[in-house]
Amino acid sequence: MPDAPEVKATSNGIPSPSFHLPLPDRPDIITANVQKLTELTPNPRHRFIFKALIKHLHQFVNETSLTTDEWMAAIDFLTRTGQKCTPLRQETILLSDILGVSALVDSLNNPVVGGATENSILGPFFTEDAADVGFGESIASEGKGDYMYVEGRVLTTDGKPIPDAVIDTWETDDHGFYDTQYTDRSHPDCRGRLRSDKDGKFGYRAVVPVAYPVPGDGPVGELLLLLGRHNMRPNHLHMMVEAPGFHKLVTAFYPEGCEYLRSDCVFGVKKSLVVNLKDVVDDEESRKRGFPRGGSFKLLQYDLVLLTEEQSVTMRTGVEERYTTLGDHKSTKS
Ligand code: BEZ
Ligand code: FE
């Protein structure tokens, strides 16, 4: 016999409600009961979100006539997805990515505003430890891929230069791996942090991005196989731009011509982010720009247009109004 516990098991302190729920003799009464209890949620935004979640989740179960085995398989899948996560591997975000939820949340929260550079999903490979890279320097060590020069300006929506903006940029090497995917990573590579100059200009050497697969050795990889979907991202170069008083831009550029451009497994591509890489076949120009082997290189030119914080708040307010008037009950964020 186990020792008698010294402390009595207690509730979380929330009293039982002033009403009694009908004991369900039909499935729809279960849904109504859950919604009635959810009405008690103190925070209006939380109440709104969870009422919508329960409505759609229960609707999904009804609509699909979900079997017990299917629901248990889903629970097993979600359990394994969580268990696959480590400080370096985020399988749950990957699930959100391949279901298009990351891209949808990103799009709703960063609406298109005339002229501003559009967002694209961050992905799991940004790191804080990128080295500072001066104007015209390289983010990639020699041999990491074909030469590419990236240049442009950081601008306001009315075309004024933004000096001293911090630009983080990262990409895979020509094997399709980020530096963090190598177990023997000794220093950051194919990533760098630079600043726009007094005219808002930036320029750096990089490598031509290649298409690569998102991790396929976990539950999300299994799900993609089950769905008959590939796990490839089209080739791209990530950029994140920050400047005081401006809304942080997280984006990526996708060279045209990639076979995966229109079936990105994480739905990150937007029309305005598809770029043309110019072929520069000029050995002298290549050496002048600092490419050690000379020869030809690709040129990516793009101006990064940032919203002020004020512009971004105005845009987001419109989105929030849409969020909070959907469904049965209005709510406000608090
Ligand atoms: C990426 O582009 O780095 C990425 C985005 C989503 C999932 C995996 C990778
Ligand atoms: Fe990426």
Instruction: Express each pLDDT in 172-188 by its tens digit.
Output: 999 999 999 998 998 99
Average confidence (pLDDT) over 154-182: 97
Ligand nearest the Cα atom of residue 125: 1
**Do 246 and 280 belong to one domain?**
yes
**Do 53 and 152 belong to one domain?**
no
**Do 205 and 62 belong to one domain?**
no
DSSP H helices, 65-208, are: 68-84, 91-98, 101-109
The predicted-structure confidence for 272-311, as pLDDT tens digits, reads as follows 999 999 999 999 999 999 999 999 999 999 999 999 998 8
**Do 31 and 171 belong to one domain?**
no
Cα-to-centroid distance, 144 and ligand 2 (Å): 16
**Do 101 and 41 belong to one domain?**
no
The pTM assigned to this predicted structure is 0.89
Ligand 1 atom at minimum distance from 102 CA:
6
Residue 272 lies in a domain: yes
Least confident of 81-90, 144-153, 211-220, 316-325: 316-325
Tell me what pLDDT residue 1 has: 57
Shortest-distance Cα residue to atom 4 of ligand 1: 123
Q: From 180, 214, 253, give the residue whose CB has the most ligand 1 atoms within 8 Å, as the site to mutate.
A: 214
Tell me what pLDDT residue 236 has: 98
- Assign 2 a pLDDT band (cuts: 50, 70, 90): low
Residue 85 lies in a domain: no
Residue 73 lies in a domain: no
Tell me what pLDDT residue 257 has: 96
Tell me what pLDDT residue 333 has: 45
**Do 41 and 122 belong to one domain?**
no
Cα-to-centroid distance, 209 and ligand 2 (Å): 9
Tell me what pLDDT residue 162 has: 98
Query: Which residues form the domain of 37?
Result: 27-66
Cα-to-centroid distance, 44 and ligand 1 (Å): 34
Dihedrals phi, psi of 167, to nearest 5 degrees: -115, 115
Cα-to-centroid distance, 199 and ligand 1 (Å): 32
Residue 235 lies in a domain: yes
**Do 129 and 50 belong to one domain?**
no
**Do 103 and 217 belong to one domain?**
yes
Tell me what pLDDT residue 321 has: 59
Q: Kindly tell me if the per-residue pLDDT of 189 is higher than 70.
A: yes
The predicted-structure confidence for 103-132, as pLDDT tens digits, reads as follows 999 998 888 887 999 999 999 899 999 999
The predicted-structure confidence for 45-58, as pLDDT tens digits, reads as follows 999 999 999 999 99
Q: Kindly tell me if the per-residue pLDDT of 326 is higher than 50.
A: no
**Do 37 and 132 belong to one domain?**
no
Tell me what pLDDT residue 313 has: 83
Asked whether 214 lines ligand 1 (CB < 6 A), one says yes
Asked whether 103 lines ligand 1 (CB < 6 A), one says no
Asked whether 233 lines ligand 1 (CB < 6 A), one says yes
Mention every residue, 6+ apart, whose C-beta is less than 8 A from residue 98: 214, 220, 223, 224, 229, 231, 265, 266
Ligand 1 atom at minimum distance from 121 CA:
5
Domain count, the chain: 2
The predicted-structure confidence for 234-244, as pLDDT tens digits, reads as follows 999 999 999 99
Tell me what pLDDT residue 334 has: 41
Residue 324 lies in a domain: no
**DSSP symbols for 174-240:** TTS--GGGSTT--S--SEEEEE--TTSEEEEEEE----EEPP-SSHHHHHHHHTT---EE---EEEE
**Do 113 and 158 belong to one domain?**
yes
Cα-to-centroid distance, 207 and ligand 1 (Å): 18
Tell me what pLDDT residue 319 has: 57
Last residue of a domain, one of 17, 51, 66: 66
Q: From 122, 236, 240, give the residue whose CB has the most ligand 1 atoms within 8 Å, as the site to mutate.
A: 122
Asked whether 161 lines ligand 1 (CB < 6 A), one says no
Residue 146 lies in a domain: yes
Residue 72 lies in a domain: no
Tell me what pLDDT residue 331 has: 43
Least confident of 11-25, 86-100, 318-332: 318-332
**Do 57 and 126 belong to one domain?**
no
Burial zone of 209 (CB within 10 Å; 0-12 exposed, 13-18 middle, 19+ buried): buried
Mention every residue, 6+ apart, whose C-beta is less than 8 A from residue 278: 298, 299, 300, 301
Q: From 95, 96, 97, 106, give the residue whose CB has the most ligand 1 atoms within 8 Å, as the site to mutate.
A: 97
Cα-to-centroid distance, 185 and ligand 1 (Å): 19
Asked whether 121 lines ligand 1 (CB < 6 A), one says yes
Whether 279 and 203 have beta carbons less than 8 Å apart is answered as no
Q: Kindly tell me if the per-residue pLDDT of 330 is higher than 50.
A: no
Q: From 122, 212, 223, 233, give the residue whose CB has the most ligand 1 atoms within 8 Å, as the site to mutate.
A: 233
Shortest-distance Cα residue to atom 2 of ligand 1: 123
Whether 202 and 195 have beta carbons less than 8 Å apart is answered as yes
CATH of the domain at 105: 2.60.130.10
Residue 86 lies in a domain: no
The predicted-structure confidence for 242-265, as pLDDT tens digits, reads as follows 999 999 999 999 999 999 999 999
Percent share of the chain, pLDDT over 70: 93
- Assign 87 a pLDDT band (cuts: 50, 70, 90): confident
- Assign 223 a pLDDT band (cuts: 50, 70, 90): very high
**DSSP symbols for 236-274:** -EEEEEE-TTB--EEEEEEETT-TTTTS-TT----GGGE
Average confidence (pLDDT) over 206-218: 97
**Do 170 and 279 belong to one domain?**
yes
Tell me what pLDDT residue 109 has: 86
